[in-house]
Amino acid sequence: MGMLRKLLAWLSVPVICLFALALYAVRPFNPDNNRLLGWAVARVGRFFLGMERPLEGTENMPQDRPTVVIANHQHNDDLFVMGDLLPPRTVTVGKSSLIWVPFFGQVFWLGGNVILNRGRSHKAIAVMQATSEAISHDRKSLWVFPEGTRSRGRGLQGFKKGAFHAAVASGAPITMVCASQYYDRTLGWSGCREPVAVCVLPPVETAGLTTEDIPQLMARCHQRMETAIASLAPPS
């Protein structure tokens, strides 16, 4: 049952994206399209997975000003765990190969998201700095997985600097979204997925910081997220 649930959850993604293309065609590159799509994909995906998602701290997510959201990245299923938590006018960052994923790739591009070429990763910080102008001038928020790759439940990995450069350059606060560690396990005969708890931490202000402050800022955010993730872990 667990495999069937997962199959249905992921089959729902291109179907939802196909219908979403109509909305994206009417208002292309509108960043609020991403929030609507994320909401639909996450809610439908969790329904098929039978996954509970206890959530704390929603009041900490800024709704009236741009923010740089950073979240821990464990599995592809993070899309179902956190996809409905995007604040208004949010764009995200993805590798260029996503464009070729049927339907999802097209709505990702039409959502005005930032596309990075992994083969030119030395330019990633420059891309983030350019994104900071969109945050400042277009009042867009940015969602980033700062670990850069999936941890597969092995704990919070080291952060890359890009998101922090964007936050400092734009003066936008950093909002941390933390998901408990999970391992794609199911519960009982029904195949329902194990619950994944999520909390949103209070924003960390960056106004007045410079690039020299980035290492300390990264360390502070990493420590706060690591502590929060540990507190979300189920009792052993």
Q: What is the pTM of this model?
A: 0.90
CB 175 within 8 A of CB 61: yes
CA distances (Å), 211 to each of 28, 92, 164, in order? Answer: 34, 22, 9
Beta strand ranges found along 25-148 (DSSP E): 55-56, 68-71, 90-95, 114-116, 141-144
Using the CB atoms, write b or e for 117-131: b if 16+ within 10 Å: eeeeeeebbebbbeb
Q: What is the DSSP string of 15-26?
A: HHHHHHHHHHHH
pLDDT in tens, 194-221: 999 999 999 999 999 999 999 999 999 9
Predicted confidence at residue 236, as pLDDT, reads 46
Architecture of domain 2-232: 3-Layer(aba) Sandwich (3.40)
The radius of gyration computed from the CA coordinates of the chain, to the nearest angstrom, equals: 17
- Quick one: DSSP state of residue 98? G
CB 173 within 8 A of CB 205: yes
Predicted confidence at residue 126, as pLDDT, reads 60
CA distances (Å), 231 to each of 39, 136, 144, 159, 196, in order? Answer: 26, 34, 22, 20, 13
Q: Enter the tokens of residue 67.
A: 């923010």
What single letter denotes the amino acid at residue 217? Answer: L
Query: Alpha-carbon distance 10 to 32, whole Å?
Result: 23
Predicted confidence at residue 145, as pLDDT, reads 93
pLDDT in tens, 154-209: 889 999 988 999 999 999 999 999 999 998 888 888 999 999 999 999 999 999 99
Beta strand pairing call for 90-95 and 114-116: parallel
One digit per residue, pLDDT tens: the chain, 236 residues? 889 999 999 999 999 999 999 888 899 989 899 999 999 999 999 999 999 999 999 999 999 999 999 999 999 999 999 999 999 999 987 777 888 888 888 898 898 887 776 555 556 566 666 677 778 878 899 999 999 888 887 889 999 988 999 999 999 999 999 999 998 888 888 999 999 999 999 999 999 999 999 999 999 999 999 999 999 976 44
For the chain, domain boundaries: 2-232
